[in-house]
Amino acid sequence: MDAVILQFLNGLDKGSAYALIALGLTLIFGTLGVVNFAHGALFMIGAFCAVTMSRLLSLSHQVVDETRTDFLGNPMKVDVPYVNDWFGEATGALIIDWAVPISILLAIPVMLLVGIVMERGLIKHFYKRPHADQILVTFGLAIVLQEIIKQVYGANPIPTPAPEAFRGSLDFGVMLGFDPYTITYPYWRLVYFAFSVIIIGAVFAFLQFTTFGMVVRAGMADRETVGLLGIDIDRRFTLMFGLAAIVAGLAGVMYTPINSPNYHMGMDFLVLSFVVVVVGGMGSLPGAVAAGFLLGILQSFASMNWIKDIIPGIDQIIIYLVAILILLTRPRGLLGRKGVMEE
């Protein structure tokens, strides 16, 4: 029983990342009808926003500390971050420690800008072109973005730790009455899960309860009629692209403590996110979220030892296997709308 709960929890954080990326992909597909292969790159850019922010925050200058001496007997030079000068030592240290959550402030405008530039500059010209062309051009863009990041930040993963308060693990088993240390779960993964639930809730609330969201939903259902009503639907869809980019970027920012960001993390997630979208149903937002969590948890269960003993290698292929089965038996995906990219 404890193993089942543990795997369930383990599946949640991976599922959260899948769900967030798939949500963005579906937003783009549902509004603009574009298959965006560069979405993984947006996730990666988000992660590197966190890297940039933590580097910016720890920018420092050298100060000669007269009280201490180095091994040669000269006065020691100490690196003092600028934030320490501005906010005092304690606050400065706290700010540096909290670099990852603070990066959200940087990631939102950056991702919005990247998203809008991408849509206006490139994707706009591909609405009328076939899906294969859209896949190809965004695939090319993904390569370019990935290479730029590689040139700027190097090819090695960059460790970006979580704030001190969230390192360590929660002994979840004790709360449920199991022995101590049977079910432990890192705090940051809980934070990630909670964060993704909040983001997903916010996106749905935005679409459901605001006028803007209502217009966007109307546009998703029938773009032409909304246009005929005198609403500039293109502008709103562009903003939705920016929103999708923000969702992917924030997913990336918060993911950095779980996995050190490297330049190909986007591509690694992209393939799986596409599978998630297809399983959930192209163009269905709840489907994308549900499928994201479902596949994350499924993958985590498949990597349990006794299952691997029965079917070796199942943890590697389970997601693809499920995707193939779903595509063949239920072409529109789990929660897909009727008639969306369905023959």
Contact positions vs another protein (CB under 8 A): 35, 122, 125, 130-133, 135-137, 139-141, 143-144, 146-148, 150-151, 267, 271, 274-275, 278, 282, 312-313, 316-317, 320-321, 323-324, 327-328, 331, 341, 343
Minimal distance in Å, beta carbon 329 to another protein? Answer: 10
Q: Which of 149/289 has CB closer to another protein?
A: 149
Give the strand pairing for 75-81 and 60-69: antiparallel
Is the separation of the CB atoms in 74 and 68 below 8 Å?
Answer: no
Q: Phi/psi of residue 340, each to 5°?
A: -90, 110
Q: Which of 129/167 has CB closer to another protein?
A: 129
Minimal distance in Å, beta carbon 54 to another protein? Answer: 24
Minimal distance in Å, beta carbon 266 to another protein? Answer: 13
Q: Which of 29/193 has CB closer to another protein?
A: 29
Minimal distance in Å, beta carbon 245 to another protein? Answer: 18
Per-residue b or e along 228-240, where b marks 16 or more CB atoms closer than 10 Å to that residue's CB: eeeeebbebbbbb
Minimal distance in Å, beta carbon 26 to another protein? Answer: 13
Of 161, 166, 54, nearest in space to 103 by CA? 54
Minimal distance in Å, beta carbon 287 to another protein? Answer: 15
Q: Which of 190/324 has CB closer to another protein?
A: 324
Cross-strand bridge partners of residue 171: 184
Q: Which of 93/148 has CB closer to another protein?
A: 148
Q: Where are the alpha helices (DSSP H) in the chain?
A: 2-32, 39-57, 82-87, 89-97, 99-121, 131-153, 172-176, 187-209, 211-221, 223-228, 233-255, 265-280, 285-302, 305-310, 314-329
Q: Which of 171/268 has CB closer to another protein?
A: 268
Burial, 8: exposed, middle or buried (Cβ in 10 Å; 0-12, 13-18, 19+)?
middle
The two three-digit tokens of residue 221, written as one number? 């259902």
